[in-house]
Amino acid sequence: MLEILSYKFMQNAITASIIGGASCGIVGVFVIMMRIPFVGVAMSHSAFAGAIFGLVFGTNPLVMAILFCLGSAILIGPISDRSELDPNISIGIIFSIVLGLAFLGMGMIKGPKTEALNFIWGNILMISKNDIILMVIMGIVLLGFLFLFFKEIQSVLFHREIARAVGIPERIVFYSFLILSGMIITLNLNTIGGILIFSLIINPASAAYQITYKLKFIFLLSAIFGVASCLIGLVFSYFFNAPSGAVIIIVSSLIFGVALIFSPKRRVKTNETQSNTS
């Protein structure tokens, strides 16, 4: 068992699991509490479209992926606020645009499309040292954002209009979150891929949301569940020679299932309902 730790690619994969799992877990709490679950899909497909255009025009796919993701993040908030649309609608609009661009780019790639498809499926075992360095930097930025602006974040997650009414710059907080989530998703595309990353964002945070009423603990638990999903999935995929992204998602779904079954919030609600009806 311990021999797998001696492989360089495995060491990188474990490091990526810890950083990526924690980052996606933290981003997931914003996504769940702001009720914008499809932001992950929109961002990952923005990154996918950017990477494809990087390949088409012979530039660095990662840089293009980041630029596309930033563009989408910058557009989603103002489209929603200025046109008074539900953020999920503006996310849907951006998603449809980047999906169209991604397919257009795929059609423009000559020859095999393997490299482009890697962004869709991802492979944590192929993570490079440079990928990890970027993930660490973004992880630190995300944690910094969380620690420095926790009281503003808590207010915005509770109620955007109330946060604005008390004088908190809630738009800056909301837009910053969108940009950060875009960056985190882009840098984690190699971990589990553009399609499945949606689950790594939603599942750990949803599981944590079932367990506690303390926002700080939700962030902590969600990060732990994200890391656990990645590490357990990684080990299983290694020993059973299964696609790592798929196994990671199955593990994160199982964690959510267990959290839902044993949720103290569910128990409290049941007891209250019973006492109210009796």
Binding site for other proteins (CB under 8 A): 33, 84, 148-149, 151-152, 154-155, 157-159, 161-169, 209-210, 212-215, 218, 265, 268-269, 272
In angstroms, what is the minimal distance from the CB of 226 to other proteins?
A: 17
State which residue, 218 or 230, has the beta carbon closest to other proteins: 218
State which residue, 3 or 161, has the beta carbon closest to other proteins: 161
Would you list the DSSP string of 71-138?
HHHHHHHHHHHHTT--HHHHHHHHHHHHHHHHHHHHHH--S--HHHHHHHH--GGG--HHHHHHHHHH
State which residue, 78 or 100, has the beta carbon closest to other proteins: 78
What is the spatial distance between Cα 274 and Cα 165, in angstroms, rounded to a whole number?
37
In angstroms, what is the minimal distance from the CB of 165 to other proteins?
A: 4
What is the spatial distance between Cα 231 and Cα 236, in angstroms, rounded to a whole number?
9
In angstroms, what is the minimal distance from the CB of 230 to other proteins?
A: 24
State which residue, 49 or 208, has the beta carbon closest to other proteins: 208
- Residue-wise burial string across 120-158, b where 16 or more C-beta atoms lie within 10 A, e elsewhere: bbbbbbebeeebbebbeebbeebeebbeebeebbebbbe
221 near 11, Cβ under 8 Å? no
In angstroms, what is the minimal distance from the CB of 234 to other proteins?
A: 30
State which residue, 113 or 265, has the beta carbon closest to other proteins: 265
In angstroms, what is the minimal distance from the CB of 155 to other proteins?
A: 5
Encoded amino acid at 93, one letter: I
- Residue-wise burial string across 226-240, b where 16 or more C-beta atoms lie within 10 A, e elsewhere: bbbbbbbbbbbbbee
170 near 155, Cβ under 8 Å? yes
State which residue, 208 or 232, has the beta carbon closest to other proteins: 208
In angstroms, what is the minimal distance from the CB of 152 to other proteins?
A: 7
Q: From its phi and psi, is residue 127 left (phi > 0), alpha (psi between -120 and 50) or beta? A: beta
State which residue, 129 or 214, has the beta carbon closest to other proteins: 214
State which residue, 13 or 36, has the beta carbon closest to other proteins: 36
Burial of 69 (0-12, 13-18, 19+ CB in 10 A): buried
In angstroms, what is the minimal distance from the CB of 146 to other proteins?
A: 14
In angstroms, what is the minimal distance from the CB of 199 to other proteins?
A: 21
